[in-house]
Amino acid sequence: MYRFKITELGKDVFWLRDSERDHLVKVLRLSPGDLVVGFDNTGMEYTSVIVKIEDKSVTCRILTADHPDVEAHTSVYIVAGLSKGEKMEWVIQKGTELGMVGLVPLRAKRSVMHLEGSKAQERVVRWQKIASEAAKQSHRVQEPQILEVSDWKDLKENLPLDTQWLIPYEEEKTQRLVSVLDTLDRERPIAILIGPEGGFDEAEVALAQEKLGAKSVSLGPRILRTETAALAALTLVLAHYGDLG
């Protein structure tokens, strides 16, 4: 069954409007009587039947409600240095499939891409749409949140106060990620700081350690591209705490 993000939830029905309504009607060409699944980003999903299609909305009658155990039990954020091309989109799509709860685009010293003002806002809207589609495809019931493009000084206030910070760094030779994970609290959020092309410079790593309490970790002896490092680190964290594998 096709999955949709609920626009408005009632007692026994829900409504789809705007892009969700248009996708159901114009792209999928579904009709009254067809079964669909709706989710509302609370962890619930609803198996429903389409009962009415109107110009601006679709009404669905709820048949069953469920709270599937599909979301990661450890909240992991990716803080990704702005990178060029489709790298950010790739990380957002695949990170959503794997189970991240959110992503913060970060202006870093070596970022090739520069986003400010309305351009930054427009890009975040596009990235959120990619996360939404990936959440549907992977049968998640909560979409990751793509936060606003941030500077270093904004990071601490943009994520939960009890966040634990990790910064994979190619110059780190002693602390392996899997060893450091044993010292963290899986009940608290974890943020993984990933550098752009060229990585973070020494001053940024020092800033993360001093201001955020970030622990510098190694992902192994090989140098990884930014998008590879993000997904490898996310996978290792979730697998370590039993959410993958």
Q: What does the DSSP 8-state code read for residue 229?
A: H
**What CA–CA distances, in Å, run from 226 to 37, 84, 112, 137, 169?**
35, 10, 12, 24, 11
Q: Which domains does the chain have, with CATH numbers?
A: 2-66 (2.40.240.20), 76-240 (3.40.1280.10)
pLDDT of residue 75: 97
pLDDT of residue 1: 86
Q: Within 10 Å of residue 84's Cβ, how many Cβ atoms?
A: 13
**What CA–CA distances, in Å, run from 167 to 37, 172, 176, 179, 200?**
38, 10, 11, 14, 9
How remote is the C-alpha of 149 from its chain's centroid? 14
pLDDT of residue 227: 96
pLDDT of residue 112: 84
Digitized pLDDT (tens) for each residue of the chain, 245 residues in all: 899 999 999 999 999 999 999 999 999 999 999 999 999 999 999 999 999 999 999 999 999 999 999 999 999 999 999 998 799 999 999 999 999 999 999 999 999 888 888 888 999 999 999 999 999 999 999 999 999 999 999 999 999 999 999 999 988 888 999 999 999 999 999 999 999 998 999 999 999 999 999 999 999 989 999 999 999 999 999 999 999 87
154 contacts 120 by C-beta, under 8 angstroms: no
242: left (phi over 0), alpha (psi -120 to 50) or beta: left
Between the two ends of the chain, the Cα-to-Cα distance in Å is 26
**What CA–CA distances, in Å, run from 153 to 109, 179, 200?**
13, 28, 15
Beta strands (DSSP E) in 71-197 are 76-81, 102-106, 145-146, 164-168, 190-194
Token pair, residue 184, equals: 């963290």
Beta sheet of 102-106, edge-to-edge order:
145-146, 102-106, 76-81, 190-194, 164-168, 215-217
Is the whole model's pTM more than 0.85, yes or no?
A: yes
Token pair, residue 42, equals: 């609370």
pLDDT of residue 167: 97
**What CA–CA distances, in Å, run from 225 to 87, 186, 219, 232?**
10, 27, 12, 10
Strands 57-66 and 13-17: antiparallel
pLDDT of residue 44: 96
Specify which residues 66 forms β-bridges with: 45
